[in-house]
Amino acid sequence: MKDAEAAVSTVGLTRDFGSFRAVDGVNLDIPRGAIFGFLGPNGSGKTTTIRMLCGLLRPSSGSGRVVGCDIAREGEAIRRRIGYMSQKFSLYDDLTVAENLTFYAGMYGLANAKRRERVDAMIALADLRGRERTLTGALAGGVRQRLALACAIVHEPEMIFLDEPTSGVDPAARRRFWETIADLADGGATIMASTHFMDEAEHCTSLGLMYAGKMLISGSPDALKRELTVAAGKIWQARVPDSIGFLDRIRAFVSGGILDAYIFGASVRVLACGARLPADVAGAAAWEEREPTLEDVFVHHVRSSAGMEGQRCDA
Ligand SMILES: Nc1ncnc2c1ncn2[C@@H]1O[C@H](COP(=O)(O)OP(=O)(O)O)[C@@H](O)[C@H]1O
Ligand SMILES: [Mg+2]
Q: What are 98-116's pLDDT values in tens digits?
A: 999 999 999 999 999 999 9
| Rounded Cα gap, residues 84 and 222, in angstroms | 28
Contacts (Cβ under 8 Å, ≥6 apart) of 308: none
Contacts (Cβ under 8 Å, ≥6 apart) of 100: 91, 92, 136, 147, 151
- Establish how many alpha carbons lie within 13 A of residue 167's alpha carbon, considering only the half-sphere containing its beta carbon: 14
Closest CA to 261 of 235, 286, 284, 239: 235
Residue 139 confidence (pLDDT) above 90: yes
Question: Rounded to an integer, what is the distance from CA 244 to the centroid of its chain?
Answer: 29
Proportion of the chain above pLDDT 90, given as a percent = 78
Residue 236 confidence (pLDDT) above 60: yes
**From the CA of 79, how far away is ligand 2's center (Å)?**
19
Residue 304 confidence (pLDDT) above 90: no
| Rounded Cα gap, residues 228 and 3, in angstroms | 34
Question: Rounded to an integer, what is the distance from CA 26 to the centroid of its chain?
Answer: 15
**Among protein residues, the one whose CA lies closest to atom 12 of ligand 1:** 22
Which residues form ligand 1's pocket by a CB distance below 6 Å?
A: 17, 22, 40, 42-48
**From the CA of 121, how far away is ligand 2's center (Å)?**
29
**Among protein residues, the one whose CA lies closest to atom 6 of ligand 1:** 17
The neighbouring-strand residues paired with 85 are 162
Ligand 1: atom nearest CA of 164 is: 21
**From the CA of 45, how far away is ligand 2's center (Å)?**
7
Q: What are 177-198's pLDDT values in tens digits?
A: 999 999 999 999 999 999 988 8
**Among protein residues, the one whose CA lies closest to atom 27 of ligand 1:** 43
pTM above 0.85, yes or no: yes
Ligand 1: atom nearest CA of 51 is: 17
| Rounded Cα gap, residues 188 and 78, in angstroms | 17
Residue 213 confidence (pLDDT) above 80: yes
Residue 275 confidence (pLDDT) above 90: no
Residue 1 confidence (pLDDT) above 80: no
Q: Considering the chain, what is the average pLDDT of its residues?
A: 92
Closest CA to 166 of 136, 144, 188: 144
Hey, what's the torsion of the CAs at 22, 148, 36, 66, to 10 degrees? -70
Over residues 269-297, the mean pLDDT reads 92
Ligand nearest to the CA of 22: 1
1 vs 61 pLDDT, higher one: 61
**From the CA of 294, how far away is ligand 2's center (Å)?**
20
Ligand nearest to the CA of 210: 1
**Structural domains in the chain plus CATH codes:** 8-219 (3.40.50.300), 223-305 (no CATH)
pLDDT band at residue 310 under the 50/70/90 scheme? low
From 13, 21, 48, 57, the mutation candidate for ligand 1 (largest count of ligand atoms within 8 A of CB) is 48
Residue 314 confidence (pLDDT) above 70: no
Residue 231 confidence (pLDDT) above 90: no
CB-CB contact of 238 with 287 (8 Å)? yes
Ligand nearest to the CA of 51: 1
3-state helix, strand, coil in the chain (%, to 5): 35, 25, 40
**Among protein residues, the one whose CA lies closest to atom 9 of ligand 1:** 48
Question: Rounded to an integer, what is the distance from CA 236 to the centroid of its chain?
Answer: 27
Burial of 267 (0-12, 13-18, 19+ CB in 10 A): middle
